[in-house]
Structure 1
């Protein structure tokens, strides 16, 4: 994603040569989050393959409580510049080219690969239906990010100070009774995009809350996160409750989901900020920030294709836990290697790099821009 960083104070050690005003602390956070995305899918697709036990895995819960909500909040924060500075037409068209075009290309690759292995039924109509399912369902987070950008851009087109309207829209969208396709996931993540966008409007918040952590506040948020983790169940996930309130029990699960995700996201973000401040000069931290954090779009596209194509392979039914962990580890490393290889191959090819979702070289980035 090409997002414009709002001007503000940079944390120590956050800048890198050749990246102008790019703040690597956010790249580091995104790098950690995309690793968690891959691990979460490995847990589901390899470690707990063909079972529903992953829903209650403490590792799966720990990741899914915050990784996508926090990803969306960071996206909203980094998108604020593009939302406020660009015209409606320019902003939306740029975001569509940045997100929807690469998604279309990778979904076409997935569909072609599946068609080569599995005979299509239903002729052209059946093939187009299968492709539409891939295009809509494979990369739901990109649709959520695009829809969130579009809606907030629309709300700010006529009044840049409509912060209360944006806050109200977060509540309204979250509780809309729309449950078809990926709508529950869009409704679940949109409030976090709004929070990130609103947070970017006040650098005083950033200084007082993040760069100067409040011990008592973080202690309370950590306690809330722990309590929500204990209460979290299968029906607390947006995939299962569909963010739909129809009785007291469903209301409890939906509110638990939002409260737990918000608290866990705040704690995780603070933890990653402190890790970056303590180890920003370490080689591993720089790799996570510069290589992974600046390639999250490409990594997300690659891992989505890999896990989608894994549905065609029957494996692991008789494997022990050790074998599954070994296979998951190799597959996770392979996803990163494939993405980094693609990045290096196309990063100097201009339009081709944008089509496949790979960032160009840092020297080609405009000041205050971030590719995620």
Structure 2
């Protein structure tokens, strides 16, 4: 199966221009995380078609850490661009990398929706639903861009000292914004800052962690288990909106942030150890080299697919066996299509930038670095 996919897709390439020294361990972590993103959406849209997914242990486990850890890795990998590039260059490059391909896939989404679900004659032409749609479908792209922009502005003011970052995290967390995707930005911003801070002083933090590694792992595992057991429907950011209004909402938000932090710490350690001991395994390397370096296009395609599915009403409920089969086929198809799209357009200058968010030169240099 791996050989078949490799022959169909070829070697994929990174999302960042600075790819010559990329860390395959982080690519492996990103690969597993994007698979979990797809699995989480399959649980929500295929296995459950009602509110039941909130109580699914698998859904809960995935959603405790997958997007916070993704954002922490994003902050870690963005450190070089944040510190070395000018504001205009950094923001421009990030917009070309994230926003341009997002708008392309959103255009495909709207085209498909018009083809499958024709607009009613009296449908309003209000722009607000369109903005909500593009924001909600690809919210992580917007969150990553906004987090990058905020930290870049702070780096100009004070070179992003830990105290300035901490103050910004507190201010963002306490901001009384609950519309659109602002709660999701408030939720993920602290993790972007954590990743960025770790990249700034990696040696110091690595030394501290190494000295107390066993105690930290045991403590984090216990904390993560307690948070998992205490995690309820109102703990999800989609329901509490990261808004502190009273003591109960404060407990929900605190549990959400703390639980996500300890779960993310445990999972990144697990991913890194899996890469350390399994990097010679073909499946592990496939996840790192192929899937982990295709996370942007995978996220955009799966977001497009699931948003389109969200607009379709199913008349006949399916039995569990059929739903599991449909979920497996759909998940595999999303991955295969994403890798094939990347293989097809990666060497075409304008299409590569438009669809993948990376220029062919960046892709080529990455392939040469791995050869």
Give the TM-score taking structure 2 as reference length.
Answer: 0.90
* CA-CA distance at 1:318 after TM superposition: 2.4
Cα separation, partners in 2 of 1:316 and 1:84, compared to 1, 3 Å: farther
The residue aligned with 1:142 is: 141
The residue aligned with 2:4 is: none
| SS of corresponding position for 1:126 | coil
The residue aligned with 2:23 is: 23
* CA-CA distance at 1:256 after TM superposition: 0.5
Moved more, 202-211 or 230-239: 202-211
Does residue 186 of structure 2 align to residue 187 of structure 1? yes
- Kindly provide the CA deviation profile for residues 33-58 of structure 1, in whole angstroms up to 9, marking residues without a partner as x: 00000000000000011x10100100
Query: Does the 8 Å contact 1:66/1:262 carry over to 2?
Result: yes
The residue aligned with 2:202 is: 203
* CA-CA distance at 1:118 after TM superposition: 2.2
| SS of corresponding position for 1:66 | helix
For residues 31-50 of structure 1, what are the structure 2 equivalents within 5 Å? 31-49=31-49
Moved more, 319-328 or 146-155: 319-328
* CA-CA distance at 1:353 after TM superposition: 1.2
* CA-CA distance at 1:120 after TM superposition: 2.2
- Kindly provide the CA deviation profile for residues 173-215 of structure 1, in whole angstroms up to 9, marking residues without a partner as x: 0121100111000000000000000010112245336678701
| SS of corresponding position for 2:112 | helix
The structure where helix makes up a greater share of residues is 2
**Equivalent residues, number:** 355
The residue aligned with 1:288 is: 287
Q: CA RMSD in A?
A: 2.3
Is there any run of 5+ residues in structure 1 with no aligned partner, and where? 6-18
Alpha-carbon distance between aligned partners in 1 of 2:197 and 2:101, rounded to the nearest angstrom: 28
The residue aligned with 2:262 is: 263
Alpha-carbon distance between aligned partners in 2 of 1:34 and 1:78, rounded to the nearest angstrom: 16
| Greater RCO, CA 8 A, separation 6+ | 2
The residue aligned with 1:75 is: 74
The residue aligned with 2:341 is: 342
| SS of corresponding position for 1:44 | helix
* CA-CA distance at 1:311 after TM superposition: 2.5
Give the TM-score taking structure 1 as reference length.
Answer: 0.90
| SS of corresponding position for 2:78 | helix
Query: Does the 8 Å contact 2:169/2:189 carry over to 1?
Result: yes
The residue aligned with 1:298 is: 297
Query: Does the 8 Å contact 1:295/1:358 carry over to 2?
Result: no
The residue aligned with 2:231 is: 232
